[in-house]
Amino acid sequence: MAGRVETTEPVGKSVPRIDAYEKVTGAVQYVDDIPFGPNLLYGKFVRSPYAHALIKSINTSKALALPGVKAVVTGKEVPNRIGLYLKDRFVFPLDRVRWIGEPVAGVIAINEEIAEEAAKLVEVEYEELPAVFDPREAIKPDAPLIHPDLGKYEVVPFIFPEPGTNISEHFKLRKGDVDSAWSQCAAIVEDDFFVPQIQHVPIEPHCAVARWDKDGTVTLWAASQSPFAQRDLIAQSLDIPHGNLRVIAPYVGGGFGGKAGVSIEANVVAMSRAVPGYPVKVRMTREEEFLGTNVRQSCAAHYKIGCDKDGNLLAYECQYYFGGGAYNEYGVNITRAAGYSCTGPYDVPNVKGDSYCVYTNTQVGSAMRGFGMPEIHWGLEQMMDRLAEKIGMDKAEFRRRNCVRPGDKILTGMTMPQVDLVKCIDLVTKAINWDKKDKPSAPHKKRGKGIAIMWKAPAMPPNPGSQAIVRFNEDASVNVFVGGQEIGQGTFTVMAQMAAETLGVPYEWVRITANPVDTKYSPYEWQTVASRLTWSMGNAVKAAAEDARQKILQVVAEYWKEDPKDLDIKNGVVVSYKSEREQSLKKMVVYGLPNENYEGWQGGPIVGSGKFMPTYVTGLDPETGQGTRAVVHYTVGAQAVDIEVDTETGQIEVLKIASAYDVGKAINPDLVMTQIEGGAVHGLSAAYEGFYFDERGKLINNSLVDYKIATVMDIPKEIHGDIVETPLEDGPWGARGVGEHVMVQTAPAIANAISDAVGVRINTLPLSAEKVYLAMMKK
Amino acid sequence: MLHEITLTVNGEQRTVAVKSHHTLLKVLREQLGITSPKIGCENGECGACTVLMNGKAVNSCLVLAVEADGAVIETVENLSKEGELHPLQQAFVEHNAIQCGFCTPGMIMSAKGLLDRNPHPTVDEVKEALAGNLCRCTGYIRIVDAVMDVAKKGDA
C-alpha cells in the first residue's frame, strides 16, 4: 500500500479500494491473462443454426481429420442434466436444439484458428421444428412444445413447472379479495407492457479453461460469480466427486449476473475430459457473448390496479409472462421473485398475481442485476403514475401514501422489516426540485420530471451460506479468507473494513485472500449474486474476526491473570481497562506469549472462523404465495429524473438522476455512491437496449456496433445520490446490499418524465427517439 | 507466413516473429506476455485494448502486428515508476474511478494519450477522448473527474 496511513475503526469511512493499486497498474490477472504455456489447447463451439430442431446425426470425421484437431465432444459424452433450480438442460444437447446459437458440439485444437476452422467441418443433420419466441405466444395451447420431458426434470420443491406446456414455473399470489375490491375503486388503470431480452455486456467476455488430469482431478479456471455453485452443478452433472473438482476464479471483469450460475463452464469441463492432462481454453468472442451466453429474460406484463378517491391502493392484479429462453434452470427463480414481489414496494390489501416463466426459442434467460425487478417495475411504476393522474394526486405524494412501511403485513403475509422508503422519496424529490417546473433550453424542447420507487429482496434459496476465516501473520497483518467474488462492487474492501473494525486493527493491516477464489482452499460462499455479500459474507467475516479476537483476548487475559471481559483491542494493541496494561499484537498472534521466566508458553497462531446462513425463511403456500417469511429482507429506494425532450426529433436528454437507497449502514459511503452512480447509468443504458431478432429467431444486433451501451457521451449532466441508513436487524452494523437496486427503476422514472414533458406513454422497451417522436405524432 | 518485427515496448526493444494476420494485441498478450491490454471485442468498439503507439492512443486489436514494426508502444504497465503511481493512476485510485478494472488500463492509456498532447483539456475534450472506451460499471463520472483532476494540476 502506498503511504503509511493507518485507518482505525474503518466501518463507515470511505477508505480507498483494496484492489485499486493492482487494477491501475495492470497487475491484475483475469482468467484470460493466466499463462498456461504452449500445452494450452483451444476450444470452439459448433452452434445451432436453427431456433428449434431435432438433431438427427452429428458427423465429426471431417473435423477430426483436420491437422491440429485433438477432439470433438458432443452430447452423448455427457448424458446427465444440469441446472440450479430445475435440471432442464444437457451440457451439449442430446437430440434437440432450442435456440440459434446453442452449442451443439465442442471442438478442441492446438490453436484458435484451427478450432474455428474445424467447427465449420462438423456436420450436423437437423430436422427443423416450429419455433416460438414470444412468451405470450408460447403459452397458447397450440404452441410448439419446447420441453416435452418437462415432467421428468428434477426440480427444487418451491418451483412449480406445468408439464405438457411451455410453463416452467407458475407462481401464484393471492391476498384478500381482488374481485370484490374493484367496485370500491374510484379509479382503475389497466394496460400491457413489454420488456425485451437484453444482455449484461460485461467488458470481459466469458472465458473458461479446464484441465482433466489423468488421476481424475479436474480444474476449472473461470470468469465466475459462482465458483462454488459451479463446482456443485458441474460435479453432479459430470459425475465428478466434489472434492476432485477445483474451481479457480480470479477477479471478474464485470458480472451483473451474467457470470452467475453456469453458462459455458460445464461445456469446457466436458470438453477437457477428451484431452486428459491438457488445459483447454474457450473464450467467447463478442458476437458469441451476445449469441450464446445468458441474457436477461423478456417480460410481457398485464396490470390492473385500482385506488379509492383519496388515493389509497385497494386492488392489484397482474400477470407476468417471462420469456425464459431455451432453458429456465436459473430463470424460474427470477419469475418466482417477480411473483412474491409482484406489487412493487406498495402496500395493497387485495392482490392477485400470476408470474409465469415460459420457454421460448431464444437465448437462455438468467440472472441480471435486479433479478426480475426491472422487468416488473417498468410497467408498475408507470401505472402508479397514471393512477395518481387519474385521481389528481401528486405522484410523489401518491407513492408516499401507499409505499410499504416497517411492520406492514406485505403481500406474502410477511412482516415488512425495517426500511424508510418515505425518506428516500423525500430526498429525491428535494434533490430534483420536484415542485418546480424548469424552463427548457430551447423553444422546441420540453422539460419533464419523473419519479419511480423500487424494492428488491435477495432472491435465492432459503438457506445460502457464507463462511470466512481470519488468520494473523507475524507482523499482526491479517489475511481474511472468503469465497465471495470481487466483480467490481468493492466487496473485498468492505470485508477488510469489517474485519479490521471487529479485530481492532487498522484497515491497512488487512489483506483479502480471495484472488483467486479457489474451491480447494477458500471458505464456502454460495454465489456472488443478489446483493447478498455485504450482509451475508459480512456477517461471516464479522463472526470469524470476533472468534479470532476472543482467542487473542483469552491468551492475553491468561498471561496477565485478568478477566478477558476487561480487555479490548485498540489499533492493534491489547489493552486492559482495569490494569491499563498494553500488549502489541505483533509476534504474539503467531508465537504466543511466554510465561514468567520463560516457564513455558501459551497461545499460538491465531485463526478465527465464522459462518452465516439465514435460518428463518419459510416456504410459501403454492396456491396463495402466503407464508410467514418469504425472504430475508428488502432493500428499497427512490429515483427521480429531470429530462428534456426534443419535440422535433424525439431525442431525450437526461439532465439529472437523483437516487436515494436505504442501505441500512454504509460500510464505505463512497463505494455506495459508486454503486448509485454506476447503477443509474446502467439503468439509463438498459432503457435503450434490446435484442432484435429476424423471423427465424436469429439475433440481429449481435455486436457492440449494433447493440449500443452507454458511453461517456451519454451520461447525465448530474447524478445525485443520497444514502439512507435504517439498520437491518441482522445485517453487520445494520448493513444491507445495494449493488443491483439502482438500475431497477431508472427506465420507468424516465418514462414518467417523458409523460410529464410531452404527454405520451411508452409501454414497450427499448426507448428510442423514434418511438417518442412517433408517439408524439400520434397524439 | 512469419515476419520478423522489432518494436519498443515499454522502453525495451523486442524482436518477434509474427504471423501476417495477427494483431498487435495478440502479439502483446501472447508473445510478449503483456496482458494489461484486454480482449473485449476484437473489433475496435470497446477500447479495452487501448495502448499508445508512437504516443497516440490506438485500439491494438485493429493494428496488425506487422504495422507496428519500428513503433514505440506503451501500456499501463509502464506508467508507475519506482513504486510511485503515475498521476493518472493516482487520480483513478483517489476518485474510486475503478470497479471491475477490466476497462481501466485502456481507459488510462486513452487519457494519457490525450493529456500528452493536450495537458489542459476541457471536460468535453476528455469525454471525446474517452468516447471509445466502454465501461459498464462506473457510469464514467469518476473517470472523467479523475482525468480532469490531473488536467487541472497539470502534472501529467
Express each pLDDT in A348-403 by its tens digit: 999 999 999 999 999 999 999 999 999 999 999 999 999 999 999 999 999 999 99
pLDDT in tens, A99-148: 999 999 999 999 999 999 999 999 999 999 999 999 999 999 999 999 99
Phi-psi region of A697 (alpha: psi -120 to 50; beta: other; left: phi over 0): left
Mean pLDDT computed over B118-141: 98
Evaluate whether A20-30+464-612 and A34-129+206-283 have a shared fold.
Answer: no
- Rounded Cα distance between A715 and B75, Å, is 27
Residue A751 has pLDDT above 90, yes or no: yes
- The Cα diameter of chain A in Å comes to 94
Cα(A386)–Cα(A457) distance, integer angstroms: 26
Q: Are residues B98 and B70 in the same domain?
A: no
Average pLDDT over all residues of chain B: 96
Class for domain A298-461+619-778, per CATH? alpha beta
Q: What is the structure's pLDDT at A437? A: 85
pLDDT band at residue B155 under the 50/70/90 scheme? low
Q: Are residues B98 and B57 in the same domain?
A: no
Q: Is B60 on the interface with A (CB under 8 A)?
A: no
- Tell me which of B20, B133, B137 to substitute to probe the interface with A (most A C-beta atoms closer than 10 Å): B137
Nearest to B42 among A285, A670, A674 (CB): A285
CA B65 to CA B46: how far, in whole Å?
A: 19
pLDDT, tens only, A696-730? 999 999 999 999 999 999 999 999 999 999 999 99
Which of B53, B78, B103 is a domain's end point?
A: B78
Find the closest chain A residue to B92 by CA distance.
Answer: A24
- CA nearest to B83 within chain A: A2
Last residue of a domain, one of B78, B96, B114: B78
**CATH number of the domain to which B112 belongs:** 1.10.150.120
User: Which homologous superfamily does the CATH classification assign to the domain defined by A34-129+206-283?
Assistant: Aldehyde oxidase/xanthine dehydrogenase, a/b hammerhead (3.90.1170.50)
For residue A572, CA distances in Å to A436, A470, A508, A580, A592 come to: 53, 15, 11, 15, 15
Confidence tier at A5 by pLDDT (50, 70, 90): confident
Question: For position B38, which CATH number holds?
Answer: 3.10.20.30
pLDDT tens per residue across span A31-80: 999 999 999 999 999 999 999 999 999 999 999 999 999 999 999 998 89
Instruction: Identify the domain boundary among B24, B53, B78.
Output: B78
Find chain A residues with C-beta within 8 A of B137's C-beta.
Answer: 254, 488, 678
Q: With an 8 Å Cβ cutoff, are A253 and B102 in contact? A: yes
Query: Is the pLDDT reported for residue A1 higher than 60?
Result: no
pLDDT tens, position by position, A255-279: 999 999 999 999 999 999 999 999 9
Catalytic residue flag (residue A725) = no
Q: Give the closest-approach CA distance of A285 to chain B in angstroms.
A: 7
The shortest CB-CB distance from B98 to any of A20, A680, A705 is to A20
- How many independent structural domains does chain B possess? 2
Residue type at A453? I
Domain ranges in chain A are 20-30+464-612, 34-129+206-283, 298-461+619-778
With CB atoms and an 8 Å threshold, state whether B93 touches A17.
yes
Q: What is the CATH number of domain A20-30+464-612?
A: 3.30.365.10
Residue B71 shares a structural domain with residue B94: no
DSSP B71: -
CB contact under 8 A, B99 and A2: no
Active-site residue, selected from the candidate residues A102, A525, A725, A740: A740
Asked if residue A210 lies in contact with residue A218, where contact means CB atoms within 8 angstroms, the answer is yes
What percent of chain A is predicted at pLDDT more than 90? Answer: 98
Residue of A nearest to B129 (CA): A712
- Grid coordinates belonging to A518: 479457489
Same domain for B61 and B105, yes or no, is no
Q: What is the pLDDT of residue A425?
A: 98
Q: Can you give the residue range of the structural domain that contains B53?
A: 2-78
The mean predicted confidence, pLDDT, of chain A is 97
**Residue A160 predicted with pLDDT over 60:** yes
- The 10 Å Cβ neighbour count of residue A79 is 11
Q: What is the pLDDT of residue A779?
A: 86
Per-position DSSP letters for A371-385, written without gaps between them = TTHHHHHHHHHHHHH
Output the nine-digit C-alpha cell for A386. 397514471
> Are B65 and B121 members of one domain?
no
Domain shared by B65 and B94, yes or no: no
Quick one: B91 and B126 in the same domain? yes
- Are B134 and B45 spatial neighbours (Cβ–Cβ below 8 Å)? yes
Q: Is the pLDDT of residue A2 over 60?
A: no
Residue A3 has pLDDT above 70, yes or no: no
Do B96 and B30 reside in the same domain of the chain? no
DSSP state of A212: E
Q: Report which DSSP code applies to A438.
A: P
Whether B56 and B6 map to the same domain: the answer is yes
B121 close contact with A: CB closer than 8 A: no
